[in-house]
A and B are shown apart, each in its own frame.
With several copies, the nearest count.
Chain A
């Protein structure tokens, strides 16, 4: 048994500990079940799920960059019905929270998805992924426009009693604006960040490296930017935040909590070390003990300005 209290209450959502795995980086849990004790996780955010199955983008879909990676998977997924039928029963065996990340091109599809998942046994919360391109708006993300954000969040809000997490796009001038729009629309929790839009070019062939041209940047490269955004949003809204973006170890996770996140999600790091989420969990406990804390909640948002010139 751990000597520190690790459970957290995110608005209506209770988690046994604050360590989640980020959508798209842990599949449907079953892929990792023999390597990771899923019962120990705070929660699993499953792969982005759409109304109908999707084939995804052509290859190449991923490319490594300096301390990061670009991905343009294109939401390849089995669709919500197959998810409920084939993936959820497995997850129901475990006591970690199951959070379904839902994605769509048009607002009505978000509503349908929310309605379909409402009351389904074993689904503990919805995560609204408004950071994917929106066909109805010419490929621009919902998540960069506060009005579209407000509208889609409030539509979904009306269709579900599940705890509603809204996942914010970092590709904006001022993330506090979309954060507030999401909260006004009825978000119980905000999660951030999704990936940053970027590209990579092969100088030799003079071609883009991704078939889709652009992709989303994740990994350690984005941590300073994600940390800043979490800190900004934490000061602008009163709902709890799930922080993510480049978390590779417990220290990174603690930084997000100090910046104001009540829970964290580990993403790209799962590819590199399947057990990293458990290591992050254990590392946070260790950190709290070292810091003389008895409850993980005590550190949330406690970062202070450094004493100037303290370095030298």
Chain B
């Protein structure tokens, strides 16, 4: 089930430096969104910017018929979004795209969720689902990274789930000083990432995803990544979101919006 409709903003609050959480009343997304799926949003009434923008679903509150998204203010659209208030309307299309697939047998795996900056929200939805499905808290490992402490998102949410939470900031202002891959490396050294028992799920900036994918490949750990591209339509028709996916010894262009955004890291041709 998907919808394409005007929805009311319920709340729009800052959660970190230049980052906001917006809660939107939308029964369809609230009910059907899966971890890793996204919505296309539009707040502009004219053509500045022309296209809608994709945002991963963070929280679903089916009892309130709302969902929420955490966004970083980057440019024209997100600036407009930051000005929306409760009662204003947003055009929402979604839920869209595929979802993170929880590796089976799910209760026997160590699930390693690697988040960078505003890549954290969809991984929170995934972690929540895992806990809800009764996966042991100790088997859900979250590595949350950002450049600085004030750019970390969802920390409280992850902590609230009681999962194993590691934090990395590039300047050391929270958690270890370093990158998410440094945490991965130390977990591996401690024997926590045995390939046959482990699955990585990653969402964040492309450079981070590429580093995580390289790590996963080197150590033969299966890894799913959520790719970010421009998404003019989000519905699979414009072909403006193409990503190179390995097929045999060649590659195909897949659409990040409908074939993804989640892909097997081993199949992504990064450049």
Binding site for B on A (CB under 8 A): 24-27, 31-32, 34-35, 47, 55-56, 59-69, 71, 73, 76, 219-220, 248, 268, 270-275, 307, 309-312
Contacts and interface: CB of A to CB of B under 8 A. Distances in A.
A63 B49 CA distance: 11
A50 to B, nearest CB: 14
A296 to B, nearest CB: 26
A248 B46 CA distance: 10
Contact of B50 (A27, A56, A268, A310): A268
Contacts of B244: 309
B50 A55 contact: no
B52 interface: yes
Contacts of A219: 47, 50
Interface of B is mostly: loop
Nearest to B244: A309
B239 interface: yes
A272 B271 CA distance: 29
A34 B96 CA distance: 12
A155 B10 CA distance: 60
Contact of B237 (A27, A61, A311): A27
B171 interface: no
Nearest to B44: A272
A68 B206 CA distance: 27
6 contacts: A31-B237, A59-B242, A64-B51, A272-B42, A312-B206, A312-B227
A76 B253 contact: yes
Given A64-B51, A272-B50, A69 B232 contact: yes
B62 interface: no
Contacts of A25: 237-238
B229 A59 contact: yes
Contacts of A71: 238, 240
Contacts of A274: 4, 93, 235
A65 B50 CA distance: 8
Contacts of B46: 66
Contacts of A309: 244, 269-271
Contact of A32 (B52, B235, B238): B235
A268 B48 CA distance: 14
B236 A64 contact: no
B3 to A, nearest CB: 8
Contacts of A66: 46-48
Given A35-B4, A61-B240, A271-B52, 16 more contacts: A25-B238, A35-B2, A61-B239, A63-B230, A67-B50, A68-B50, A220-B50, A248-B47, A271-B233, A271-B237, A272-B51, A273-B91, A309-B244, A309-B271, A312-B206, A312-B227
A31 B234 CA distance: 10
Contact of A31 (B1, B42, B236, B253): B236
B49 A64 contact: yes
Interface of B: 1-4, 42, 46-52, 91, 93, 206, 227-230, 232-240, 242-244, 252-253, 256, 258, 269-271
Given A274-B93, A274-B235, A61 B242 contact: yes
Contacts of A60: 230
Nearest to A29: B237
Contacts of A73: 238-240
Contacts of A248: 47
A67 B48 contact: yes
B243 A312 contact: yes
B254 to A, nearest CB: 11
A76 B242 contact: yes
B252 to A, nearest CB: 7
B212 to A, nearest CB: 15
6 A-B pairs with the lowest CB-CB distances in the bound complex, closest first = A62-B240, A27-B237, A271-B233, A67-B47, A31-B236, A271-B232
A14 to B, nearest CB: 26
Given A55-B253, A270-B233, A312-B229, A62 B238 contact: yes
Given A25-B238, A270-B233, A69 B4 contact: no
Contacts of A67: 47-48, 50
B93 A62 contact: no
Contacts of B237: 24-27, 31-32, 47, 270-271
Contact of B229 (A26, A64, A69, A311): A311
Nearest to A71: B240
B251 to A, nearest CB: 8
Contact of A273 (B4, B239, B256, B269): B4
Nearest to A220: B47
Nearest to A27: B237
A219 B243 CA distance: 24
A59 B243 contact: yes
Contact of A271 (B51, B91, B269): B51
B47 A56 contact: no
A312 B235 CA distance: 19
A312 B51 CA distance: 18
A60 B232 CA distance: 12
A307 B271 CA distance: 9
Contacts of B242: 56, 59, 61, 76
A165 to B, nearest CB: 20
Nearest to B234: A271
A34 B229 contact: no
Nearest to A310: B271
